[in-house]
Every structure is written in structure tokens, then in C-alpha cells.
Amino acid sequence: MTQLYSQISGWGKYVPEKILTNYDLEKMVDTSHEWIMQRSGIAERRIAGEDETTATMAVAAARQALDVANLAPTDLDLIIVSTSSPDYFVPAVSSTVQAMLGATCPAFIIATGCTGFVYGLVTAHQFIATGAFKRILLIGVELISRFLNWEDRDTCVLFGDGAGAVVITPSLAPRGVFSFDLGSNGDQGHHLTLKGGGSANPMSYDVIDKGENYLYMNGREVFKFASRVLPRSLRAILEQSDLSLQEVDLLIPHQANARIIDMAVRSINFDPQKVFLNLHKYGNTSAASIPIALVEAIQEGRVKADDKIALVSFGAGLTWASVMLQWGVSSQNLNGHGAAAAMPVQAEKVVI
Ligand code: UT7
């Protein structure tokens, strides 16, 4: 059987208009701009408007990605939505997104927290590599602000809302995902939880009184985990793809904390110039952080044809997920909407 690669042939992002700065947060909880900047590198984050939902943000990012890929929603074979802050438990927000887009394909969610987008990319890659599907829309989206306790300074200063989307199609040339590393330390799950509302602890007045309807994070433990796992998982995808650290052109880590990224990168002597960071603008957008960063890296001209790009994520579970990608399009085609018109989407050429 012909070897099929899974290239990213469309991309888009959506962030809500409303900006919440560290100075705004100073008026809400006992914190300071200096503390948040120094401990996390975050200056501001976006907060969804009252009329927005996880699905509306996902659809806004998806429409851009479809535009770039020059595809209609009805062309899609599969939609994967990675999120841990869905509109409802039931139905899955992937089906809501499918209906809002006017797509007719199957759809499902992945809910591994901050690693959801990369788990989704690896999943999409399997469907493409086996020839089962040719046009997959993958969205990482979070409307996490509705699950935060705005009186808890440990969490509310760190997170933000947003969405990023990619379209994944087959390629005969080596493109897209060529190695991955997925993992889960479920015994550490209690360090990052939203305890209330599930089958183990159904929603009740008691749950609300205890604040278990909000996200809880043991920041120090997650910090330690993330600092360990980031370099380890990066090494794993490099080894599998037979690449050296020097051959990586761009590292896009999960945008949780600039200090975690800085420490991890220093520990392996990786060139900090090759690390893409935008968390100062958006905070931690969980499953949306890597796709939003990827889209901005493309738009800022940081991604060139044949570049080797490492995506490394870590978070709730506790899980990790990393992917080594080879970029498949030239940088002059990479600015904004409609770019894919000039870009080879190879799905048509594939014989399965
Ligand atoms: O996306 C999922 C992955 N998530 C992450 O990767 C997050 C990982 N963790 C972190 O990013 C960091 O642990 C935090 C940014 C959450 C906290 O930074 P830290 O350097 O680990 O601070 P800390 O928890 O050790 O707290 C230091 C001090 C404490 O005061 P005491 O006990 O030393 O008196 C906290 O109470 O800072 C205090 N503090 C704050 N002060 C001002 C905690 N939150 C705040 C705040 N403003 N917002």
C-alpha cells in the first residue's frame, strides 16, 4: 500500500475580543501584574463574551482553516474537537460544531485537557495514514473562563479562552506527523481536576458550596511534572524520527508558563530563538494553546517549507503528547485567508 503522510493544509484561529489584563485582575483578587509576569510570563488573556460558547469559537476558527484549505464543510470526512470545556456533557460539542458548520461527516471529542490537540493530531494521522479518511478538521478549543473561580488567584490568573483549527489531508511526499509520543500518568490526576458534575460527584448544592464546580490545580506539582516531561517527550520524538536537537527548526510548546518552557529548554541546551511563545497575550488556553500558537507562527513567517516543527504538550491527566512535523508549504503562501488556493492539497493525487 502507498505510504500516506498527513499534512496540515489549512489553519485558523479565533480569540474573543475581550482582553483581561493583569491590571484588571489586580482589582479582582490579591495579585499583581509583576507576580503574574514573573511567575508565568502572562500579561493578558482573552475572555469569551456572553453570547459565545465553545462551539461558536470552534466554528470561527474552523471556517478560517477550511478557507485556507479551500474546502467546504461538506467535503469533510471527520471532525475532531479537542476540549475539556464543552457546551454540554451531552451532546458532544463536536456534533454541535458539525451542525453549525453544515458538515455531514462523523464527529467526536477528545478530552485530555491541554494535550487534547496533539492527541487529536495523532488520531487524525492514523485515519489519514490508513487511507480511511482524506479530509479531517481538528479543532482545539477552550472556554475555560466559565469553569474558573474568579476568587481563586491560584488559577484565575493563568487561563484564557480561544480556539485553533487545522485541516489535515493526505500527502504522498513526506509531510506532517512523522513521529509522536503520547503518555498518561493517571495516578497524578488529582493535581489538576474539575471534581464536580461527573458521575463520581454529581452536581449538587454541596458541590457548589465546596467550589468543586471550578477548576482546581496544584500548580507546584504540575510545574514539576511539566518541567520533567517537556524535555523527555521532545527527546522521544527526536529519537523516533532520527533527528538531532539541532535539526529542529521550531519548537511550539504548550503555552502554560514561560518559566517551565525556559527551564526545560535550558536543561537540554535548545536554542531559545527557535521556541515560539505567545502566552503573554493569551495565557494558558489549554487544548487551544498549540493550534493558536501554530497559526500565529505561520502568520509571523516563522514557518518555512520543509521546517521540522516539534509540538510538545502536557497537562491534566496528567498527560503528555508530542509530535514531530515536517511542514509542507512555502512561507510566501502562508499569510492569512485563501492562501491554500496557491497551495498543493494532495488529497486528489492519492490512490489508495
Ligand atoms: O495547562 C496545564 C499545565 N499547567 C501548568 O503547567 C501550570 C504549572 N504551574 C505553574 O505555572 C506555577 O506553579 C504557578 C504559576 C501556578 C505558580 O507559580 P509558583 O512559582 O509555583 O508559585 P507557588 O505556587 O509556589 O506560590 C508562591 C507564592 C505562594 O505564597 P507563599 O505560600 O509563598 O506565601 C502563593 O500563595 O505565591 C502565592 N501566589 C500568588 N501571589 C500573587 C499564588 N498565586 C498568586 C497570585 N498572585 N496569583
Active site residue 156: no
Out of 2-6, 193-197, 305-309, 326-330, which region has the weakest mean confidence (pLDDT)? 326-330
The SS3 assignment for 313 reads strand
Q: Record the pTM.
A: 0.93
Asked if residue 256 has its Cβ within 6 Å of ligand 1, the reply is yes
Active site residue 218: no
User: What is the CA(29)–ligand 1 centre distance, in A?
Assistant: 14
Average pLDDT, the chain: 92
pLDDT at residue number 329: 53
pLDDT at residue number 84: 97
pLDDT for 210 beyond 60: yes
User: What is the CA(216)–ligand 1 centre distance, in A?
Assistant: 12
Rounded average pLDDT over 318-327: 96
The Cα-based distances of 149 to 52, 220, 230 in angstroms read 19, 19, 28
User: What is the CA(154)–ligand 1 centre distance, in A?
Assistant: 6
pLDDT at residue number 29: 97
pLDDT at residue number 157: 98
Asked if residue 48 has its Cβ within 6 Å of ligand 1, the reply is no
Active site residue 269: no
Measured distance CA(141)–CA(65) in Å, rounded: 14
Give tens-digit pLDDT for 249-283.
999 999 999 999 999 999 999 999 999 999 999 99
Cα 13 to the center of its chain, rounded Å: 11
Measured distance CA(98)–CA(96) in Å, rounded: 5
Write out the DSSP string of 144-213: GGGGS-TT-HHHHTTB--EEEEEEEEEESSS-EEEEEEEEE-GGGGGGEE--TTSSSS---HHHHHTTTT
Give the helix, strand, coil percentages of the chain, each rounded to 5.
40, 25, 35
